[in-house]
Amino acid sequence: MGVNMDKQQTNIVNNKKIKLNITTPRGLKFVEEADMIIMRCIDGNLGVLYGHAPVSTVLGDGILRIINDGVEKKLAIFGGIAEIGKETVNIFTTIAQHPEEIDLERAESDRKEVENAIEERSKELQFQNSLVLLHRTLVRIEVSKHLKHLENTEDYNDA
CA angle 1, 102, 5 (to 5 degrees): 25
pTM above 0.85, yes or no: no
Q: Give the per-residue pLDDT at 17.
A: 96
Are residue 54 and residue 108 in the same domain, yes or no?
no
Query: Is the separation of the CB atoms in 53 and 34 below 8 Å?
Result: no
**8 and 65 share a domain?**
yes
Per the structure, the complete domain to which residue 142 belongs is given by: 103-159
For the chain, what is the mean pLDDT? Answer: 87
Do 38 and 116 reside in the same domain of the chain? no
Asked if residue 23 lies in contact with residue 39, where contact means CB atoms within 8 angstroms, the answer is: no
| Tens digit of each residue's pLDDT (9 = 90 or more) over 49-102 | 999 999 999 999 999 999 999 999 999 999 999 999 999 999 999 999 999 999
pLDDT at 109: 93
Residues 95 and 124 in one domain: no
At 73 the three-state DSSP class reads strand
Say if residues 11 and 35 touch (Cβ distance below 8 Å).
Answer: yes
Tell me how far apart the alpha carbons of residues 39 and 89 are, in angstroms, rounded to a whole number: 11
